[in-house]
Amino acid sequence: MSRRPVNPARRVADGGGMPFVGSSQSKTRSSPLISIGLVVTGAVLLVLYCYSGPGGQSDKHIVSRVEGGASCAFEVQRAMPILKKTYGNSMQKVLHVGPDTCSVVTQLLKEEDTEAWGVEPYELDDADSNCRSLVRKGIVRVADIKFPLPYRPKSFSLVIVSDAVDYLSPKYLNKTIPELARVSTAGVVIFAGYPGQSRAKVAELSKFGRPAKLRSSSWWIRYFVQNKLVENEAASKKFEQASKKRSYKPACQVFHLNSNH
């Protein structure tokens, strides 16, 4: 479920095929009035299908969020109950890496029995006072994730990264993802954007250094295999089951990797 790219355009096209079947059959009938009636009915059905078809509501929800510049950091926050169900005790010491880490860390700190830290890979130009306080306390650090992370091996139980991987070329992914595995014990969770989602506005490009490269799930899986990064199958399964139970559909791709120790 979490691996399937959202493609609302194709879904509409698939559904749109149905009424046209009806209209072509109508050509074999004798009365032109019936034909016209069928065409009109087909058109009405098509319109109805587009507006109330299965999944139409949730797709529209996602699309409107994406147009507003969706971020997977927001998705990490939405997925928190599912992540807790999946990782249980391994949520004791969590490191979040990615833009908007202050808001993710703030939410994590509200959870019982959870300590949380954050790495903000980009400038914090408009940080609020809460965020500045987290930085002052050393809970959130601003650090370029193209370089080794400023933590000892196995410092955290779980490492969650969102969005940041979409801005890294394979050359830097090769350095950064093993770093995330190095500082964790129970695994790494990657939240990556789906191809086709719109991301940072042009004004923000200088901050991220390059436009987001949203890769397909098959790209990611091939990348993990090539780099001997092993999927945490138990966690993937639990995450999928918990998502299904709560009818949660992630708006980002979610991958679970082992820490490889």
Which positions lie near ligand NAG, rule CB under 6 A? Answer: 170-171, 174, 226-227
Q: Which is nearer to ligand NAG, 152 or 228 (CB)?
A: 228
What is the residue-wise DSSP string for 161-214?
EESGGGG--HHHHHHHHHHHHHTEEEEEEEEEPPTT---S-GGGHHHHSS----
Q: Which two tokens stand for residue 227?
A: 């780099």
Which residue type, as a one-letter code, is found at position 16? G
Instruction: Give the C-alpha distances (Å, rounded to integers) separating 45 from 16, 69, 171, 209, 219.
Output: 9, 33, 50, 47, 38
What is the smallest separation between the CB atom of 213 and ligand NAG, expressed in angstroms?
Answer: 13
Give me the least distance between CB of 74 and ligand NAG, in Å please.
Answer: 29
DSSP state of 122: S
Closest CB to ligand NAG among residues 150, 170: 170
CB of 225 to ligand NAG, least distance (A): 10
Residue whose CB is less far from ligand NAG, 16 or 178: 178
The single-letter DSSP state of residue 21 is H
| Residue among 174 and 218 whose Cβ is closer to ligand NAG | 174
